[in-house]
Each structure stands twice: as C-alpha cells, then as structure tokens.
Amino acid sequence: LILVNIVQPGIDGGGEALLQSFEEPEHQPAQRTESTFGDVLRNIIPKNIVAAAVQGNVLGLIFFSIFLGVALLQIPSKTDAAVLRQGSNAAFQAIIWMIEKAMLFAPLGFLSLIADLVGSFVLEGQLSTLGSSMTAYTFTVVIGLLLHGVGTLGCLAWCFGISPIALFRQMIPAITSAFSTASSSATLPITLDCLENRAGVPNKIGSFVAPLGATINMDGTAIYEAVAVVFIANMLGVDLSWTQQALIFITATVSAVGAAGIPGAGLVMMVLILNTVGLPAEGVKLVIVVDRVLDMLRTSVNVWGDSLGAAIIAKHEKRETTNTLG
C-alpha cells in the first residue's frame, strides 16, 4: 500500500467518465455504498445469511461457513451431519459442472471486455493514457513482489539462520513451475519434492506446511490485490480515505487466504475488496489484460513464501529437538 500510494499508477486515467460508464446501466451511482470500518467488522457476523449471499458479503459467508463446519463436527448425530455434508458436496459438484459449461464462453467474454475497454479509450483518443497507466501498475506490482520476495522474506530467512540464496537455489524447480503454471496447487508435488530432497526439510513438516501454505499462504496475491484495487480507484478518479485503505489492507489479506491456488483466483477474490470499499466490480476489467503475467509472478512469490515457511519450521523444530536432547 505504501508503494502504490507513492507511485499512484492510473492517477491520470479515465476518472469520473470511466466510473459512470461502469455504473450504467446495472449499477446506478445511488446504489454504490461505502462501508465504514465498523460496518465491515459488524458484517462479518451476518444477521441474515441469505441477505449476506445476495449482497455479496463474502466475509459474512466465510464466517457462517466456518461456523457451520464446526457445528457439523460437534452435533451428536453423525448420520445427520453426513447427510448435510453429502448434500453440500453434491451441490458443489453440480455448481462446478455449471461453471465449467459457462467457462466455455470465457474467451468470447474476455475478448469483448478488452475490446470494450480499449475501444472506449481509443474513441476518446486516450489510448496512450491507458498504456502508460497499465505499465505503471504492472511495474508497481512487480516492484512490490520483489521487495517482499527479496526484502521481507529474505530478511526473515536470515533472522532464522537460513541462507535465502541457498534455499532459493534448492527451490528453483518449484518456483519455475509456479511461474509457468500460475498455480500453487499444481506446483505442490514439486514443492514437496524440492523441500524434502533438495532442502532437507523432513517429510512430516513439508507434507503439512506446504499443502497448508498452497491453500492459505498467499503473500504475493495479497500484495497484488492491494495494488490492483488502488490502481482501479485511481483510474476511476475515486479518492480513497485512510479508513478505506485500512479496509483494503485487511480484506486483501483475508481474501488472499480464501483464494484457491489456481490461476486467476486472486483476480476473482478481488471483487470482495472492490465491494468492501464501494468500487464497481466492473473495475476488474482494467487489470484483466495484464493479469496472467502478474499471476505467474505472484504465484512464484506465494510458493517461495510457502517454502520459506516450511524451512523455518524445520529449522525451529530441529533446534527444539536438539535442546530437548541436549
């Protein structure tokens, strides 16, 4: 957030006109509501779960789902719990099937989105503005990822007595796989192999930390989402208050935890942040063009973070064991 506030990519973008074109006809400006910090905290526990689903209150839905999951583990009648679990599973499979069919039209939709965006900038003779804003945005994400991957994670490694360069070399196959597949989950077998056979992390630690990391530890995604939302706000000429920036900070972290380890998951979860700060979800089309390249880079940082986490825990456990034995 500090970086994107310094660089301010997209500050001279389309502004108000672009915002209005996004809000018509589906979203009238009157419907655009800005949540305050208190609203977001209050909405985490929804009053009405159906209303939460209709209003796109994803944090509320996540809270309810976790609570329901715990309840299913607690209720005495295991058969009743199993019925609900099987029902949810069947609904999940059916919805995945429906999404797969809808996704067949994705290339056409993607093409139309980009054509619409580029076309509107061409008509206003502002294509170069779009180009320079996108470039500034891309570089901000890349610099943010580098600062985190090399700076923060590197320092963390040093603090725990691990050489980041040596670990990086050992993890190169996993990081290159993350880069090429843009999926932490698809890279998981290679991450595990590198951790065990190249970095010497014991199986019992690697096989616990790496899958957990591939699912919830997405530092690259969180950085990307924060930069992207501020970029979208700049492009739409919306001035974000400090409260909204704090909300971005929190929701980017939470939504990165919720994002699946698959290509483009961070982009989808970004709608949650846009909703929270009252920006139109259509803003996503401003970042979709460069998303794949940034996805490759942020996934590499995600996998690098998971690997470092596993290495740190392995180191710590080793120390503990030596101390106990000593």
**113 vs 260, beta carbon nearer ligand ASP:** 260
CB of 267 to ligand ASP, least distance (A): 6
Size of the site for ligand ASP (CB under 6 A): 16
**Contact indicator for 4, 143 with CB cutoff of 8 Å:** no
State which amino acid sits at residue 107: P
Cis ω for the linkage preceding 263 (within 30 of 0): no
State which of residues 162, 232, 259, 274 lies at the interface with ligand ASP (CB under 6 A). 259
Binding to ligand ASP in span 220-239, by CB under 6 A = 221
Q: If you search the block for the tokens 């209720």, which residue do you land on?
A: 75
State which of residues 223, 265, 279, 284 lies at the interface with ligand ASP (CB under 6 A). 265
Q: Does residue number 219 form part of the binding site for ligand ASP (CB under 6 A)?
A: no
Q: Pick the stretch among 23-31, 54-62, 112-120, 262-270 that binds ligand ASP (CB under 6 A).
A: 262-270
**Contact indicator for 126, 14 with CB cutoff of 8 Å:** yes
Shortest CA distance to 267 belongs to which of 280, 283, 245, 278? 283
Q: Does residue number 261 form part of the binding site for ligand ASP (CB under 6 A)?
A: yes
Shortest CA distance to 210 belongs to which of 224, 226, 194? 194
CB of 258 to ligand ASP, least distance (A): 11
**Contact indicator for 308, 156 with CB cutoff of 8 Å:** yes
**90 vs 99, beta carbon nearer ligand ASP:** 99
Name the DSSP letter for residue 262.
S
Q: Does residue number 144 form part of the binding site for ligand ASP (CB under 6 A)?
A: no
Counting beta carbons within 10 angstroms of the beta carbon of residue 235, is it exposed (0 to 12), middle (13 to 18) or buried (19 or more)?
buried
Q: Does residue number 183 form part of the binding site for ligand ASP (CB under 6 A)?
A: yes
**13 vs 263, beta carbon nearer ligand ASP:** 263
**Contact indicator for 316, 162 with CB cutoff of 8 Å:** no
Q: Does residue number 295 form part of the binding site for ligand ASP (CB under 6 A)?
A: yes
Residue ranges that bind ligand ASP, judged by CB under 6 A: 182-184, 218, 221, 259, 261-266, 295, 298-299, 302
